[in-house]
Amino acid sequence: MVRRMLASARGTRTLLVMVVMTFAIVLHPAAAQEAEDVRAVLVTGTSSGIGLRMTEVLSENGFFVYAGARKAEDLERLNAMENVMAVRLDVTIQHEIDAAVELIQAEGRGLYGLINNAGVAVMGPLIELSEEDVQFQLDANLFGPYRVTKAFADLLIESRGRVMTVSSIAGILSGPFIGPYSMSKHGVEAYVDALAAELDRFGIAVAAVEPGNYKSQITANMVARMRETGYSAEGSRYGSMLAMASSGPLDRSQYDEPDDVALAALDFLTSDTPKRRYMVVPTQGEAAMTIRQALREVVELNEGHRFSYSRDELVQMLDETLGVAQPSSRETPSGTGLHQAAMQGNLEAARELIAAGADLNAREPSGGSSPLITATTFGHTEVAKALIAAGADIDQRNNDGSTALITAAFFCRTEIVETLLAAGADRSIRNNAGSTALDVVTAPFDAMKGIYDMVGAALGPYGLELDYERLERTRPTIAEMLR
């Protein structure tokens, strides 16, 4: 009952927090927390973001949390929380890990759970990054969980406990300039599978949680390190990574709080049947992108060798893995049909949906785009024109603050720009990065290539094709139209 309530509350933060509070009252009264059999959990990287939210949720729901952090002010703040003891712990420093083991052993509660959450991010092209930068990335994100889990193995075996490591959907996906981060998280995925096989004989459950985009300080910390280490884009073939990383809110405040990620950790530690993987994403789009990539790798592995399987055999394997003959159907979210038609350029379907009264301004859940912005992104001019003629809001913004005009300018959709301007689109609107439609086509093309690379990698699987020669050739034309 409670888990059904939690599931239905996802995406509505206020309701979610209320349900979590109810969960705490119903399942774990305060008196139970004082009992001798209270279970202790170590969470690393708890100063902010996912680790802090996990500490809050677990400490409110029957667990005593050893909260790992590095800075004195963070340790003091964590120590002020009920059912929490702060532990100085840098997962890249072995003597701090050893000291944490001694402390937790001396406390006498044992250790039921370990959540390897501490992590960092490094951004940059792989052919230009220093080995030191890549080592910094792997040292925290991959070797950190390895070191900490190894150090606490005896306590976990004694309690027949549980180990969760925070991975990422970047452990399945990858793309331009996030190579080091994705390498670390792909490594975590392999680490979790191997660890699970090895600890199974001791009755220890092992899992990975793969969060999507949530509010955290990871970008702010990355930018601070780049500045501290004297980052320079001089001589780069790709432009400034610092400028790219700083183009949005450094605290990732455009994303949801990581409540669902913390609830996944709670489920893992309390469920009678914990899962191996908990993919937790805030939007359907992030889920689709991740699952499609996993399926794409299956197709690539199966392609063109003497042991390849037929389509029917692959479908049968999938059905066997799912444990059912057919995947269960689910209701299509409102507005999805028109977005699908816009993305595919299906003019006939778009017209039918418009005539049937579909919401012309419905925001798709991944990036908040309207059907008009979607059609513009994928270059489906006739669908875009039909939406404009039907009265779609031409100045509606997506989550990045971009309108259809800014999008059309960015992708150099000449005819759509012309149609939008004729319909009275506001050319003075700025996106969240402070750029107007004119700004995005007058910035140096070389400086924009990295952004096109990232967009192409993200939307290529959905059919987006980028012709760099056409983009560079058409940008001056678009600029003249916008002046």
Residues marked active site are found at 181
CA distances from 368 to 285, 317, 335 (A): 10, 35, 12
Contact 405, 479 (CB under 8 A): no
Residue 471 phi/psi, 5-degree rounding, is: -60, -50
Q: Which residues pair with 479 in a beta bridge?
A: none
Which DSSP state fits 309?
Answer: P
Contact 16, 259 (CB under 8 A): yes
CB burial of residue 169 (10 Å; 0-12, 13-18, 19+): buried
Residue type, 197: A
**Could you tell me the two tokens for 452?**
């096109």
**Helix axes 179-199 and 131-141, enclosed angle (nearest 10):** 30
Taking the C-alpha atoms of residue 166 and residue 163, their distance in angstroms, rounded to an integer, is 10
Taking the C-alpha atoms of residue 110 and residue 113, their distance in angstroms, rounded to an integer, is 9
In the block, which residue shows the tokens 């192409």? 456
The distance of Cα 103 from the centroid of its chain, to the nearest Å, equals: 34
